[in-house]
Amino acid sequence: MKILVTAKRVTDPNAKIKLKSDKSGIQTDGLEYKPNPFCENAIEEALRLNETHGGEVVVVSIGPSDVQATIRTALAMGAHRGILVTGLDDHQMDSDLVARVFAELYKRERPDLFLLGKQAIDGDSNQVGQLLAEYLEIGQACFASKVEIHGSEAIVTREVDGGLEKIAVGMPAVITADLRLNEPRYASLPGIVKARKKSIDEIDIRSLGIDTHLKVETVAYEEPKTRGGGVTFVGGVDELVGKLKSEAKAI
Amino acid sequence: MGGILVVAEVRDGKLFSGTLSAVQFAQQVGQQTGAAFDIFVAGSNIGSIAEELSYYGAKKVLVEDNPVFAHYLAPGFAASVAAAAKQLGSSYVAGTATTFGKDLLPRVAVRLGAGMASEVTEIVGTRNGRLVFKRPMWAGNIVGHVVVNTDVVVVSVRGTDFDKAVKLANRSEVVPFTGGGANTRVQQRFISFEQTASERPDLTEAAVVVAGGRGLKDGPNFFKIMEPLADSLNAAIGASRAAVDAGFCPNDLQVGQTGKVVAPQLYVAVAISGAIQHLAGMKNSKTIVAINKDKEAPIFQIADYGLVGDAFKVVPELADAIKRARS
């Protein structure tokens, strides 16, 4: 079984993100980059499926050459090779363009499964997997918390509002990973050493013949409204109930 | 300039009330552009839902009632929604930013050659004749203003940021519709649905939410502490990601960036430290109470009222005190 899996580079999920003083974008000075946590779940699942079913795990990403480091992390976890589409910076992409680039990689690689994180923790759009599946006119199983392969189908449990839904998707298919799909492994030292020798192909976006005009543009940024007032510490339960009743009128 | 098509969400055989927030969004777009709106609903045996939808001022309610649509599946639903938008000549397609809308709407966008704005919280105004939307990014730490450059614009609407549309006396025209999605060739089928059993109000709809965190130690303790408190307030129960990851409670109780976004009148956070991902899901609540052993916990920075103490001791007392205060 051949699997393509994404490794998006995002800002450190635990960093406090602030705007530049001119509000043209976020402050990136001193900010660390990490693999998108949901992509890590997707990579882990790809590796587990590979351990059971054999085949190849190919890690794909888009961005400047620095993003090689993000792909290299996935190779150190055990993926076989990488593809990086270069020539686009973060602000030159929207979900639709990313999906069309992945659709092109799909056509070149013809995988059985395309695994992605359900959303990236920077843009929080939650679109790419769904867009990709429709561009390819294939099935999708988004927000996956369990994946099993039965013959030519993927049986996927999805985390949906109100409970857990199980669906079957004929392969090839797109699956997007939710957090509870698995616990991503850490790269081992031998894994890191091996990863240095694994290949990462760089493909220039211009060679793919894709229209790079954006359908969705972020034209301005602002800080969210902060809550006024600050916290009032209460001495005990009775004082709290009193304040909720008379002051906040919440009960 | 075409109208707005609202995609209704059917959940558990009933109209999901968040749909009415998407209707509100459509009405606001209408105020800006002068356009009317229509509603599309697909499902099986949904005559009464279509009837219910006909009292919100839509020009038409398109109904695709087909046993094939008894269970939602993205490829077929997307084909039919897109067919409806094409037939009506809609310039906007709007739906809920729930797992239904998030799963469905991007596919609709592709079929319409449209760009999509996710989790829109506000219409800011116009720029070069196009609407500008606000949407949260980076777990709500940044608000982006986005413009969609395509002829058709797809939007998922964050329910907590738009009031529900009000029921009217006049009835819209209800029109049966066949969009072709029932005949999709994409291989995808429904197997089963395991519903989270709860007699409580829906988490995203409840006026009061009480949420527990990892400090509650394990699953039995989570419910032993949280249920009496929820009972005393007729509240929905939520949880932090840490509590869900640790297996204390089902995943669909998770409040936060990657879970549910809630904005109740009262939010009580119990033994939740307050990671930014959690705050993203509840910081628009009207009144926030935090109970935590650690006075330095970040949750106190956004709380209105803080109580430093051991949840195992304080929360049962609180449930009793609230019961007395409300009786």
In terms of Cα–Cα distance, which of B1, B4, B5 is closest to B42?
B5
The residue behind tokens 């949906």 is A160
Task: Indicate if the pLDDT at residue B258 is higher than 90.
Answer: no
Torsion of Cα atoms, B122 then B123 then B124 then B128, to 10°: 150
Q: Which pLDDT score, from 0 to 100, does residue A225 have? A: 85
**Cβ neighbours of A224 in B, within 8 Å:** 136, 140-143, 283
CATH code, domain with A33: 3.40.50.620
d(CA B142, CA B145): 10
Examine residue A79 and state whether it is found in any structural domain, yes or no: yes
The reply to whether B126 touches chain A by the CB within 8 Å rule is no
Model confidence over A199-233: pLDDT tens digits?
999 999 999 999 999 999 999 999 998 887 799 99
User: Residue A133 pLDDT > 90, yes or no?
Assistant: yes
What are the tokens at B266? Answer: 């009262």
Chain mean position to CA A67 = 14
pLDDT score, position A83: 98
Instruction: Note whether A153 and A186 are within 8 A (CB).
Output: no
CA B3 and chain centroid, separation: 23
State how beta strands A113-117 and A81-86 pair: unpaired
Query: What letters, b where the CB count within 10 A reaches 16 and e where it falls short, cover B167-199?
Result: eeeeebebeebebebbebebbbeeeeeeeeebe
Strand order in the sheet with A200-204: A200-204, A81-86, A56-62, A2-6, A113-117, A173-177, A139-150, A153-160, A163-170, B188-195
Decide if B150 touches A, using CB distance below 8 A. Answer: yes
Which fold would CATH assign to domain B4-183? Rossmann fold (3.40.50)
Radius of gyration over every alpha carbon of chain A, rounded to an integer in angstroms: 21
Q: How confident is the model at residue B107 (pLDDT cuts 50, 70, 90)?
A: very high
Predicted pLDDT of residue A249: 93
H or E segment at B268?
strand B266-270
Candidates B99, B118, B139; nearest CB to A143: B99
Please give, rounded to a whole number of angstroms, the shortest distance from the CA of A37 to a CA of chain B.
Answer: 11
pLDDT level of residue B257 (50, 70, 90 thresholds): confident
- The yes-or-no verdict on residue B198 having pLDDT over 80 is no
Do residues A118 and A6 lie in contact, with contact meaning Cβ atoms separated by under 8 Å?
A: no
Residue reference for tokens 């060739």? B185
**Confidence at residue B202, expressed as pLDDT on a 0 to 100 scale:** 87
Round to the nearest angstrom and report the end-to-end CA distance of chain A: 57
Which residue has better confidence, B276 or B158? B158
Domains of chain B, residue spans: 4-183, 208-326
B123 touches chain A (CB under 8 A): no
- pLDDT value at residue A162: 87
**pLDDT average, residue stretch A84-92:** 95
pLDDT score of A228: 72
What pLDDT is attached to residue B47?
Answer: 97
| B293 Cβ under 8 Å from any chain A Cβ | no
Determine, yes or no, domain membership for A251: no
Say yes or no: B214 contacts chain A, CB-CB below 8 A.
no
Would you say A19 and A71 are in contact if contact means Cβ atoms under 8 Å apart? no
Nearest Cα to Cα of residue A143 among A115, A170, A121: A115
Q: What is the mean pLDDT of chain B?
A: 96
Phi and psi at A220, nearest 5°, equal: -160, 160
d(CA B263, CA A228): 16
Q: Which of B142, B145, B195 lies at the smallest CB-CB distance from A163?
A: B195
Q: Round the CA-based radius of gyration of chain B to a whole number and report it.
A: 21
Structure tokens at B4: 């707005």
Instruction: Calculate ∠ Cα B201-B207-B208, nearest 5°.
Output: 85
Residue (of B199, B241, B246, B197) closest to B219 by Cα position: B246
Q: Tell me if B113 sits within 8 A of B151, measured CB to CB.
A: yes
Q: Is the pLDDT of residue A194 over 80?
A: yes
Chain A residues with CB-CB distance to B258 below 8 A: 38, 118-119, 178-179
Q: How far is CA A213 from CA A61, A98, A105, B105, B152, in A?
A: 19, 12, 19, 21, 16
At residue A90, does pLDDT exceed 80?
A: yes
Mean pLDDT to the nearest integer, B158-187: 96
pLDDT, residue A226, reads 81
Instruction: List b or e across B125-139, with b for residues whose CB sees 16 or more CB atoms inside 10 angstroms.
Output: eeeeeebbbbbbbbb
Distance of CA A87 to the CA centre of its chain: 20
B4-183 and B208-326 in the same fold? yes
Scan residues 14-73 of B and list those with Cβ closer than 8 Å to A: 73
Print the domain residue range for A68.
Answer: 2-246
Q: Do A240 and B233 touch (CB under 8 A)?
A: no
Do A16 and A70 form a contact (C-beta atoms < 8 A)? no
Residue with tokens 């606000």: B134
B103–A contact, CB cutoff 8 A: yes
| Tens-place pLDDT, residues B270-323 | 999 999 889 999 999 999 999 999 999 999 999 999 999 999 999 999 999 999
Per the CB < 8 A criterion, the answer to whether B78 and A134 are in contact is yes
Query: B208-212 and B266-270 as β-strands: parallel, antiparallel, unpaired?
Result: parallel
pLDDT of residue B59: 98
SS3 readout for chain A: CEEEEECCEEECCCCCCCECCCCCCECCCCCCEEECHHHHHHHHHHHHHHHHHCCEEEEEEECCHHHHHHHHHHHHHCCCEEEEEECCCHHHCCHHHHHHHHHHHHHHHCCCEEEEECCCCCCCCCCHHHHHHHHHCCEEEEEEEEEEEECCEEEEEEEECCEEEEEEEECCEEEEECHHHCCCCCCCHHHHHHHCCCCEEEEEHHHHCCCCCCCEEEEEEECCCCCCCCCEECCCHHHHHHHHHHCCCCC
Q: Looking at residues A143-152, what average pLDDT do you find? A: 97
Q: pLDDT value at position B168? A: 97
Q: B74 touching A, CB under 8 A? A: yes
Number of domains making up chain A: 1
Tokens found for residue A212: 């790079």
Q: B292 CB contacts (<8 Å, ≥6 apart)?
A: B215, B269, B271, B272, B273, B299, B300, B306, B308, B311
State percent of chain B over pLDDT 70. 100
CA distance B58 to B50: 11
Residues of B in contact with A124 (CB under 8 A): 118-119, 136-139, 257
Examine the pLDDT at B26 and tell me if it is beyond 90.
yes
Best CATH choice for the domain B208-326 from the list 3.30.1120.130, 3.40.50.1220, 3.10.129.10, 3.30.360.10: 3.40.50.1220
How far is it, in rounded angstroms, from Cα B316 to Cα B326? 16
Note the pLDDT of residue A227.
80
The Cα A55–Cα A63 span in angstroms is 27
Each residue's pLDDT tens digit, A23-57: 999 999 999 999 999 999 999 999 999 999 999 99
pLDDT in tens, A154-190: 999 999 998 999 999 999 999 999 999 999 999 999 9
